[in-house]
Amino acid sequence: MTYAMQKLAEEKVFKDPVHRYIHVRDQVVWDLIGTREFQRLRRIRQLGTTYLTFHGAEHSRFNHSLGVYEIIRRIVDDVFAPRPEWDNSERLLCLCAALLHDLGHGPFSHSFEKVFELDHEEFTQAIILGDTEVNAVLKKVSSAFPQQVADVIAKTYDNKRVISLISSQIDADRMDYLQRDAYFTGVSYGHFDMERILRVLRPKEDQVVIKSSGMHAVEDYIMSRYQMYWQVYFHPVTRSSEVILTKILHRAKELSEHGYEFAYEPRHFMSMFSGNVTLKDYLNLDESIVMYYFQMWEEEKDPILSDLCHRFMQRRLFKYVEFDPSKEYKKLNKLEQLFREADLDPEYYLVVDSSSDLPYDFYRPGEEEERVPIHLLMPNGELRELSRQSEIVDAISGKRRTDHKLYYPKDYLMDDSSHKETKEKIRAILGVSEH
Ligand code: CA
């Protein structure tokens, strides 16, 4: 029997709080889970710094990746397999792409990508195609297989139907993370009837569509996505911790460039600082290592680095006020000047952060989140784009909501033991009071 077809002597089952059980029968899938690069995902949180806002949000990308795999496995094995329009030869490809789709995420991806100009999707490709344990497993299936898996994840694979299972407006990735993030944060949004959605998915031509009778379950999914974005993913406190994390990385990089002598030399960061990170270095970095440095750097001589690390580790976050960059740039200039007078470098202590999201979108090609729209399969066999059928979805389609906040260290500004007058002026401009 070929490796691709090989089944485990006994099915392996993972207990999972979201899907109850995750079933593995294929030898290839089992071997991939056991690789060094996949196990690394245990040490990378799914939601980055969100655990500082919602203390339950400690779940990892390992959890999420298994969850996406399980959703795909159920769609392929339970819903699609008996259908004549489904080609079962792509089953293993779907399972592997689902399992590995987030493989290239690093620690606190968001901030690291911003500061060091990295791209986790490039690393996913590099891990699948490079000299890694994952590549060795995939190559045993066939010499072309690693490239096929990489192509599905990069959305360049020939069969668009396979891609739309993994990345579209309603895909296994989103269905897993919405439910998983809701579960671990403990919020009451984020829940929707996935069982119903799975039952009404249909392979049709080059995409996966939804029987029109399932429209209300899909509406619920879109609304829960909308709620999760604003209540969890863009939570202002999480953004504060991300601002601090980003500024730590900036500071460490800047110090390194200026020849600062670290008491705890950032060996693991060196190739990132210099802008030519290798795959090996990248894979060696995980959140445990990053946190180790942050804890050590609390004792660095550089006051900015040590203060920011102290803030991150002890959760002494920045506070914020609403900010309108189109109208308030003069105010920002004035604040920057006053911050300098108060011995606070505005580069690190006065930060504008913006978040924006499109709850559902179908017509804007080329935007950052270009995903296949949701099509309903009508009783007469025609396809209809969701927002043309659903008034609820139409109401929120294509509307980008953007939110800007100005972050600053309130604790420092409230302490009148130094720069009392300047701080009073700053507080007046920011509208900061004791409470
Ligand atoms: Ca994902």
What pLDDT does 394 receive? 87
Task: Between 293 and 432, name the one with better pLDDT.
Answer: 293
Q: Is residue 329 part of a domain?
A: no
50 and 142 both lie in a single domain:
yes
pLDDT in tens, 178-190: 999 999 999 998 8
- Tell me if 178 sits within 8 A of 224, measured CB to CB: yes
249 and 293 both lie in a single domain:
yes
What whole-number distance in Å separates Cα of residue 42 and Cα of residue 302? 32
Any idea what DSSP says for residue 86?
A: S
pLDDT in tens, 325-336: 889 989 999 999
Domain of 115, CATH number, reads 1.10.3210.10
Share of residues in the chain with pLDDT > 70 (%): 96
- Intra-chain end-to-end CA distance of the chain, in Å: 70
- Tell me if 164 sits within 8 A of 48, measured CB to CB: no
126: CA distance to ligand 1 center in Å?
17
Q: Is residue 60 part of a domain?
A: yes
397: CA distance to ligand 1 center in Å?
22
Domain of 239, CATH number, reads 1.20.1250.30
Any idea what DSSP says for residue 408?
A: E
Q: Which of 101, 135, 124, 132 is nearest to 28 (CA)?
A: 135
pLDDT in tens, 117-132: 999 999 999 999 999 9
User: What domain range includes position 228?
Assistant: 3-233
* Mean pLDDT, all residues of the chain: 93
198: CA distance to ligand 1 center in Å?
18
Last residue of a domain, one of 233, 262, 284: 233
What whole-number distance in Å separates Cα of residue 143 and Cα of residue 430? 61
9 and 142 both lie in a single domain:
yes
pLDDT in tens, 56-79: 999 999 999 999 999 999 999 999
Q: Is residue 78 part of a domain?
A: yes
Q: Is residue 199 part of a domain?
A: yes
Tell me the average pLDDT across 271-298: 94
pTM: 0.94
308 and 188 both lie in a single domain:
no
| Cα torsion through 157, 158, 161, 164, rounded to 10 | 30
pLDDT band at 367 (very low <50, low <70, confident <90, very high): very low
| Residues 6 or more apart whose Cβ sits within 8 Å of residue 421 | none
- Tell me if 30 sits within 8 A of 24, measured CB to CB: yes
Tell me the average pLDDT across 125-154: 97
Cα–chain-centroid distance for residue 242? 13
67 and 195 both lie in a single domain:
yes
139: CA distance to ligand 1 center in Å?
23
74: CA distance to ligand 1 center in Å?
17
Last residue of a domain, one of 233, 250, 270: 233
177: CA distance to ligand 1 center in Å?
7
What pLDDT does 371 receive? 61
What pLDDT does 365 receive? 40
Last residue of a domain, one of 254, 287, 314: 314
99 and 190 both lie in a single domain:
yes
What pLDDT does 362 receive? 56
Q: Is residue 401 part of a domain?
A: no
User: What is the number of structural domains in the chain?
Assistant: 2
